[in-house]
Structure 1
Amino acid sequence: MSTDTAASVDGPLKQLTIATSFAIGDLDPLENGFWAPEFGFGALLMKPVAGGKLTPWLLESPPSRTSPTRWALRLKPNLTFQNGKPLDAAALAAAMTFSLAENSSVKPLLPGATVTVSGPRTVTVTTGKPTSYVPSLLAHESMFPIFDYATYQPLKGKDAELIAAKIWSGPYTVTGLTPEAMTLVPTPGYAVSTPKLEKLSVRFVPDAHARILAVQNGEADLALYPPTSAAKELQGRSDAVYLHQAPGTAAEGFQLLLNLRSGPIADVAVRRAVSHAIDYGQLATQVMNGLYDPAVGFYPAFLPYALRNQTFGAAEANRILDAAGWVRGGDGMRAKDGKPLAFTLLSYPQQPDSKTVAVAVQAQLRTAGFAVEVRQVDDVTAAVKSPTGWDAAVMGNGAIDWTQTDPVTPVIANFTPGGDNNYGGVDEPELTRLAGQLTETFDPTARDTLMRRVQQIVVEEKVLSLYLTLKRVPVVAAPKLRGYAVPPVALLWVDAY
């Protein structure tokens, strides 16, 4: 755990139990590697820190751009995997090459890239074209997990053997993994830093109230993904405290995914009406009890290139629908050519606030004549990966990447054909062209100009996706962790800063 957190409790914190809603099924790098840095059993080459910056983690220094398409990465000395095998240039090149070939998150972002050994602790990454966001990819939990590929490859699919093989590179080593919990201990001789905890446990508790109750009963120290309603419920109590990031700093929240291939949502006029019929201020201040930041556009307002072009206007929503031929019936609902203005909106239980937001959006859209059905699904990602069977979804996401240093890769992932998160079927030639320009743009001023054009297309002209409200990431903590500072950037809950 972080030094700051350890210093905020009565005496050194020796044991920590975290209750989370998302279960970790195995330690396979492709399937669950993104959890590794969050819970301490993995480390990344670079680390995201507050202020939109990156700092070396496993690397000795920041990546060095030696030519328009080449980056030199030099590891810290004396690194090993948890099984004792050396984490050297050859091992690093093997892990990164595997990700470039097999990881669907990184493949579309670095097409044609290669990694070669250029020294005992140095590798060279060669990209197919100049690529501005390479440093951010090295700090992103979903891109380049650092693990012992040589040991992993023959054990792929053998869950118990992968645990015993200790293939990871973090300060804490997994000793047990069941459907209920994961147990970890300090990695002996860890060269990057000294682990602060003697024992770490991560419990998988699907029910939000059960996670909070575990903290209140002394069975857990931190409960992740609590509903906003918990803030009021825990006021004045001495057995748990609701904590969150500072106001005005929220960089992620609930995105309204729109399936452009489905029903009325396929009509851009309908999407424009949806954007104006949603009261974003009400969602943040009333529905979420002032514990969320209002969404003013596709990007958080504190970013220099963010446009405030996402506005509530009931009259404008009604004007658009009237002009498009959607007629109100006696019940106030609209229809056109005998077809109702209706769609289904998905939410999911792992983020309990998603249903609260979905129900509020349902009510707001009803005033404009939309008939919205809210449907909760157990696996929202699996649902939206299908091109059919869904119309819209409220989904936790961020418009800037996980590291909060790169706005480019989310444009590629969300809005270009083949993008990893292009669930809605977006295929806009100008956006694809802009994504290519952004990839090769290193100058911040030029990048910001391109980003503003992206927002005009996404929010105003085509309404391809919207942000509903921005979450100040919350956690429920035990009294001894009352001074816990929620990670300001990525959700690095263990050994974060």
Structure 2
Amino acid sequence: MPALRTAAAALATLLMVTACSSSDDGSAETADGTGADEPAGAPDASDAETNASDADATLRFVTPYTVRSLDPVEQGLWSPEWGYGELLMRATEDGTVEPWLLEDLQADDASTWHLTLHEDITFSNGNQLDAEALAAVFDHHLAENALAAANLPGATVTVEDETTLLLETTEPVSNLPNLLAAEDMMSVFDAEALAAAGDDPQAVLDAGIYTGPYVVTSLDENEMVLERNDDYWDGDVALAGASVRFVPDEQARVRAVQSREADVALYPPTSLLAPMVDAGSGPRLAVAEQPLQQFRAIPNLNQAPMDDPAVRRAFALGLDYQAIAEQVLDGLYSAPTGLYPDTVDYALPSQRTDRDEAAGLLEDAGWTLGDDGVREKDGERLSVTILHYPQQPDTEQMALAMQSQLAEIGFEVALELTDDNYTTMRESDSWDIGLSLDGTLGYTYDPVGRLRDFLTTDGERNFGGVSDSTLDALVDQLLTETDGDAQRPLLEQAQQVIADEALVVIVAQRSSPAVVSEDAPGYRPSSVLHHLGADTQAG
């Protein structure tokens, strides 16, 4: 029975991601020239006096995303981000996944897994997380969490002993280690205490249902406050606590750091970051190590004109990725060359700019250029609507650049702002191209799960209505293979199908940025969105 260290060794090699190239030599740097290869929140080793004071320190965050409740399905993804919850597996800064609440993960095959918990894990309410409690977690998610049910088909769990659970699925799930590290897949909580708390949000907050190094002491529509969990099962916790304010306005978030009302502003707009790159004092720009953040352009295949492969391919060829990254986004992004970041060795160079070829494709497909510069076919104009959303303010700049670039090859482009891009793409027909921050490796270095979710016929997040039998078959094969060498040719074939049909386009990519106050000199953003953890330091 191969242990995770053995059974997934080849897969881990395949999934390994090297450091990002935010500087010329390929190393990740912050604005002050400091390397960003430390864990998120790692302290400056030379500042022992500052580190010693962290036991009484707190960090103040501002973010556009609101934590609406502590519900483990609807809002459970926030628990590992903000340190009040943990996952069974953990994505790391060096491009791998490793056990977290689990001590070990073993596979008989891609459909049969043994999950062994660390001993003596307790929820913040004092109850123990054992195999029985973990079985209740799985039962709850499989019944209530559509994403978990879709990615763990026919899953059943059986308690083997006090700390070990047997997980069996009716179809292979080779990427289980990555799925268990995904924040929206399997949050871990005290199911019995949640049931006793019922639907009362305050009762759920008071129930102490998570295991993390921090506990939430208050939560409303404006702010979440966390305090150190003094009984944390895994040792010491560096900070006394943290506050997280929910601030939709991107300029207000940055101003909060500039005025020293906050220590860390997450998801800052690129338009405000350029002046901080070479700043000698004041707030600094800090970036994470891995380039996992990608902005997808998702074509809506359910309606014209994006149901036309020629239009989609022309769209992909008509975008100037280099100009978007370097000019529109001030060089704080990099131009993608394909579906996956080129820091993984299975990435194919499948995206390029060629406006002459784009125009030729449209002409051959019957889209002729009108006097006003907009193409028409059978009396219909080549009009598309690009969806962008305020939580990611750079999507507006991207959409404006795309509007201009696509006009040069005969597209008429309108822009639409939505407060919830997923809901709009799922429920509305008002859009033709949806911009969304959805990296193809996710935040767990998983090239397979995102293919399944976004680009297979029955994918839970297949907003664009993709239905390609060849791609479906390739993903099915990938889900049976735990060996990286066997996965590589399948991944390459999948990338070629996606490029040939232009089923998705990556517009730009980056490592996670943050604006950080002088009062938090050691803070570094997390590549995998673990903004606050037991080791996070203020100094």
Q: TM-score range by the shorter chain?
A: over 0.9
Q: Secondary structure at the match of 2:472?
A: helix
How far apart are residue 2 of structure 1 and its match?
5.3
Does residue 83 of structure 1 match 2:125?
A: yes
Aligned match for 2:352, one of 305, 311, 318: 311
Superposed, 1:15-414 pairs within 5 Å as 15-61=58-104, 63-67=105-109, 69-234=111-276, 235-236=278-279, 238-245=281-288, 249-386=290-427, 388-404=429-445, 406-414=446-454
Contact residue 41 and residue 524 of structure 2 kept, 8 A? no
The residue matched to 2:42 in structure 1 has which SS?
A: helix
1:451 partnered with 2:491: yes
1:4 partnered with 2:42: yes
Which secondary structure does the structure 2 equivalent of 1:201 belong to? Answer: strand
Q: Which amino acid aligns with 1:84?
A: G
Residue 518 (structure 2) pairs with residue 494 (structure 1): no
Separation in structure 2 between the aligned mates of residue 8 and residue 444 of structure 1, nearest angstrom: 40
Q: Is the 8 A contact 2:40 2:524 kept in 1?
A: no
Moved more, 186-195 or 25-34: 186-195
Tell me which amino acid in the other structure corresponds to 1:186: R
SS at match of 1:264: coil
Q: CA deviation at 1:496?
A: 7.0
* 1:129 CA drift (Å): 3.2
Q: Give the Cα–Cα distance (whole angstroms) in 1 for the partners of residues 110 and 439 of structure 2.
A: 29
SS in 2 for 1:356: helix
% identical aligned pairs: 37
Amino acid of the structure 1 residue aligned with 2:509: L
* 1:193-236 residue CA offsets vs partner (Å, 9 max, x unmatched): 31111121110000011011111111111000001122223353
Correspondence for 2:517 among 473, 478, 485: 478
Which amino acid letter does the alignment assign opposite residue 152 of structure 1? Answer: L
Distance of aligned partners of 1:413 and 1:456 in 2 relative to their CA distance in 1, 3 Å threshold: same
- 1:184 deviates by 0.7
Unpaired segments ≥5 residues, structure 1? none
Given that 1:2 and 1:496 are in contact with CA atoms closer than 8 Å, whether structure 2 keeps it comes out as no
Distance change >3 Å, CA 454–CA 8, structure 1 → 2 = farther
Contact 2:320 2:353 in 1 (8 A): yes
Shift of 1:250: 1.3
Q: TM-score, normalised by structure 1?
A: 0.95
SS in 2 for 1:487: coil
Q: Which moved more, 1:97-106 or 1:311-320?
A: 97-106
2:40 and 2:405 map into 1 onto residues whose CA distance is 42
Aligned twin of 2:462: 422
| One-letter amino acid matched to 1:260 | L
Please say if residues 59 and 73 of structure 1, whose CA atoms lie closer than 8 Å, have aligned partners that are also in contact: yes
2:525 corresponds to which letter in structure 1? V
Question: Structure 1, residues 370-390: CA drift from partner, whole Å, max 9, x if none?
Answer: 011111111111101125222
TM-score by length of 2: 0.88
- Tell me how far apart the structure 2 counterparts of residues 157 and 196 of structure 1 sit (CA, whole Å): 33
Give, in whole Å, the separation in 1 of the partners of 2:141 and 2:163: 19
Contact map agreement 2:318 2:354 (CA 8 A) in 1: yes
2:33 maps to none
Q: Aligned partners of 2:206, 2:534: CA distance in 1, in Å?
A: 25
With over 3 angstroms needed to count, the CA separation of the structure-2 counterparts of 1:223 and 1:335, relative to structure 1, is same
Distance change >3 Å, CA 192–CA 438, structure 1 → 2: same
- After TM superposition, the runs of 4+ consecutive aligned structure 1 residues lying more than 4 A away are 6-9
Contact 1:74 1:122 in 2 (8 A): yes
- What amino acid is aligned across from residue 124 of structure 2 in structure 1? Q
Which whole-Å deviations, capped at 9, do the CAs of 1:62-85 have from their partners, x for residues lacking one? Answer: x01135532111111111111111
Q: In the TM superposition, what is the alpha-carbon distance from 1:101 to its structure 2 partner?
A: 2.2
Report the Cα distance in structure 2 between the residues aligned to 1:187 and 1:420, rounded to whole angstroms. 35
3-state secondary structure, aligned to 1:200: strand
Task: Judge conservation of contact 1:72–1:125 (CA < 8 Å) in 2.
Answer: yes
Unaligned runs of 5+ in 2: 1-38
d(CA) in 2 for partners of 1:336, 1:398: 34
Question: Whole-Å Cα distance in 2 between the matches of residues 256 and 2 of structure 1?
Answer: 29
Contact persistence 1:54–1:139 (CA under 8 A): yes
Letter in 1 for 2:442: D
Which string of whole-angstrom CA distances, capped at 9 and with x for unpartnered residues, describes residues 226-264 of structure 1?
011222233536331111235xx4122210011101221
- 1:449 Cα deviation from its structure 2 partner: 0.3
Q: Distance in 2 between matches of 1:180 and 1:327?
A: 52
